A and B are shown apart, each in its own frame.
Chain A
């Protein structure tokens, strides 16, 4: 079933002619989900240049879509209570803007002279945890140093008030 491109033949003149990928056998637009995307692309480029142009020059379009997504997504700076009056600042969503979490964590640590690290949350997303309540300062710093990448409107400050209450309640019990 490697080359079924010509299978309809003269028997079925009205049938739509569908090209299937010679590597993963799926229609080429689904190659990216077949697990052999790279090979599929090479195959298509060699065998079906027209289709290749259509599908993979659209890569540029997907990039444009990415840019849109960037505009829509937000950087969240959260203040999370640790111990009554101690807080940490959690920063989520930087990677969308092409910033490296690990490097940033280090820089932030240097800037505020506190512990700062990149952690992976249970959901698999990356976040930066900075010790101390520095949300406002982080925002200033981000805009100052990475202002070219991060639009001002996309930064969101969140104070975890709910959690505070819940924690307090837990403390009383």
Chain B
């Protein structure tokens, strides 16, 4: 989604009523953030909105990016936020071979997840298409990609090929490298 560098654009303060609403939506989407919400979005902190290309809005507090939201979708946490609170999102794992491609912005393909190095949840905790997941890499601790699943995890296992996620926020992309201050 952010393959290109993002030019610094104007930012604006968010109304406190809107801020409350956003906070609510964030918690609805990611109950995992619940215990930390006061740290992530203090009530008094002044939330700022930064416009990004493709009608995406990035929300920051004190120039620290928190999450971004496409106009027609749920908010997605910024990778730095995920690194701070890694347990908040469901996480799946790709194998070593796929890291290279993910970090250069390629679409995530199913074999990277179904191979021995990858890890998908068991059937009981299967993830549906449309779910926002964080993606870790084999042998690494930190998350390297976050985005919306296009295919459910059970379908991935049965099919074993095809695109799984094509518009994500990955380490080293335009959003990651964006200068906020």
Interfacial residues, chain A to chain B (CB-CB below 8 A):
1, 4, 7-8, 11-16, 18, 24-27, 29-30, 33-34
Give A34 to B179 CA distance when docked, in angstroms.
Answer: 18
Considering only CB atoms, which chain A residue lies closest to B179 in the complex?
A: A1
Number of interface residues, chain B, beta carbon within 8 A: 26
Considering only CB atoms, which chain A residue lies closest to B180 in the complex?
A: A1
Distance in angstroms from B147 CB to nearest chain A CB is: 17
Give A26 to B145 CA distance when docked, in angstroms.
Answer: 12
A-B contact pairs, 20 of them (CB 8 A): A1-B178, A7-B80, A8-B84, A12-B39, A14-B35, A14-B36, A14-B85, A15-B36, A15-B39, A16-B86, A18-B142, A27-B83, A27-B141, A29-B141, A30-B99, A30-B103, A30-B142, A30-B172, A33-B103, A34-B172
Is there a chain A Cβ closer than 8 Å to B42's Cβ? yes
Q: Is the CB of B83 within 8 A of A18?
A: yes
Partner of A26, one of B84, B141, B172: B172
Contacts A1-B179, A30-B99, A30-B103 given; does A11 touch B39 at CB 8 Å:
yes
Give per-residue flags for B128-171: 1 if the beta carbon is below 8 A from chain A beta carbons, else 0.
Answer: 00000000010011101000000000000000000000000001
Partner of A30, one of B40, B144, B177: B144
Complex interface: chain A residues within 8 A of B39 (CB): 11-15
Considering only CB atoms, which chain A residue lies closest to B79 in the complex?
A: A27
Q: Is the CB of A16 within 8 A of B84?
A: yes
Contacts A24-B172, A34-B172 given; does A18 touch B140 at CB 8 Å:
no
Give A16 to B137 CA distance when docked, in angstroms.
Answer: 18
Is there a chain A Cβ closer than 8 Å to B100's Cβ? yes
